[in-house]
Amino acid sequence: MLKKLLITFITLGLIITIIFIHYKNKDITPAIKYQLTLKIDNDNLVKEFFNNVKVEEDKNRAINNWQFDLNNLEELKEKINIEINNYNINYLNNFNNTYLEALLVNNSNKEKIINIFNNKEFIKNINNEINKRKKYLNYLNDLLEDINYLLNNKKDYYFNDNYYICKDNTMLNYLNELKEKYNLNILTKLGNTNNQKIPILLYHGVLDNTWGAATLFVKPSEFAKQMNYLKENDYTPIFVSEIDYAYAFSKPIIITFDDAYIDVYNNAFPILQKNNFKANIFVITGSIGNNLYMNEEMIKTVDASNLIEIGSHTISHYKLAEKDAETIEKELKESKEVLEKILNKEVNTIAYPSGSFNSTVIEIAKKYYSYGLSTLIGKEQSNNINYYTLKRHYIYREYSLNDFIKIL
- Interface residues with Zn ion (CB under 5 A) are 258-259, 353
* Helices 73-96 & 120-152 angle (0-180, nearest 10): 160
Cβ at position 302, least distance to Zn ion in Å: 17
* Helices 169-181 & 120-152 angle (0-180, nearest 10): 150
What are the residue ranges of helices labelled H in 13-72? 43-52
CB 18 within 8 A of CB 37: yes
Closest chain position to Zn ion (CB): 258
Nearest to 344 by CA among 390, 296, 396: 296
* Residue closer to Zn ion (CB basis): 216 or 246: 216
Cβ at position 213, least distance to Zn ion in Å: 10
* Residue closer to Zn ion (CB basis): 113 or 332: 332
End-to-end CA distance of the chain: 94
Cβ at position 160, least distance to Zn ion in Å: 31
Cβ at position 343, least distance to Zn ion in Å: 20
* Residue closer to Zn ion (CB basis): 68 or 293: 293
DSSP 264: I
The rounded distance, in Å, linking the Cα atoms of 205 and 64 is 55
Cβ at position 366, least distance to Zn ion in Å: 21
* Residue closer to Zn ion (CB basis): 258 or 263: 258
Cβ at position 321, least distance to Zn ion in Å: 14
C-alpha angle with apex 73: 236 to 156, nearest 5 degrees?
A: 45
* Residue closer to Zn ion (CB basis): 222 or 258: 258
* Residue closer to Zn ion (CB basis): 21 or 264: 264
Cβ at position 204, least distance to Zn ion in Å: 7
* Residue closer to Zn ion (CB basis): 38 or 373: 373
The rounded distance, in Å, linking the Cα atoms of 216 and 396 is 6
* Residue closer to Zn ion (CB basis): 76 or 202: 202
Cβ at position 88, least distance to Zn ion in Å: 57
Q: Three-state SS string across 141-186, please?
A: HHHHHHHHHHHHCHHHEEEECCEEEECCHHHHHHHHHHHHHCCCCC
C-alpha angle with apex 404: 398 to 405, nearest 5 degrees?
A: 150
The rounded distance, in Å, linking the Cα atoms of 19 and 101 is 10
Exposed/middle/buried for 5, CB within 10 Å: 0-12, 13-18, 19+?
Answer: exposed
